[in-house]
């Protein structure tokens, strides 16, 4: 019996992004990674609550119960040289960006005091193709 492949998804509120599709898209349409400021992201994902001296559970819900689960121990082993993926979208009629893949790398970068991480940003049109809902 073979194990079923689990598709990696990222849930943000009611929006659901297919990370496997995003990674395929980036392979088919490669681009240079650009630096993203680490300081811009942790508060949006509650990572600042899991500072290096965090003494609670080794995991926490990133956005609330039933959503993306975060494991701090795993995060400290994440490859910070691999680019994170940022989606471009529209929110309340204005352009916005959302880190959809690489939260564990962002946590490690935050705890290590890194200023930037490499990032690949999807266009709004590309983001629409990987959004499930």
pLDDT tens string, the chain, 133 residues long: the values are 455 556 888 888 788 999 999 999 999 999 999 999 999 998 887 787 776 655 555 555 555 434 456 677 888 999 999 999 999 998 889 999 999 999 889 999 999 999 999 999 999 999 999 999 9
Query: What is the chain's percent helix, strand, coil content, to nearest 5?
Result: 30, 30, 40
Within 10 Å of residue 48's Cβ, how many Cβ atoms?
12
Q: What pLDDT sits at residue 12?
A: 81
Q: What pLDDT sits at residue 30?
A: 97
């Amino acid at each position: 019996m073979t194990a079923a492949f689990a598709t990696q998804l990222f849930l943000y509120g009611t929006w659901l992004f297919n990370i496997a599709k995003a990674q395929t898209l980036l392979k088919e349409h490669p681009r240079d990674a650009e630096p993203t400021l680490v300081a811009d992201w942790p508060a949006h994902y509650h990572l600042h609550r899991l500072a290096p001296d965090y003494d609670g559970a080794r995991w926490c819900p990133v956005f609330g119960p039933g959503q993306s689960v975060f494991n701090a121990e795993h995060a400290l082993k994440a490859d910070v040289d691999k680019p994170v993926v940022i989606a471009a979208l529209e929110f309340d009629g204005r352009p916005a960006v959302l880190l959809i893949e690489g939260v564990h790398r962002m946590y490690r970068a935050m705890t290590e005091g890194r200023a930037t991480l490499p990032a690949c940003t999807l266009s709004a049109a590309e983001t629409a193709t990987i959004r499930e809902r």
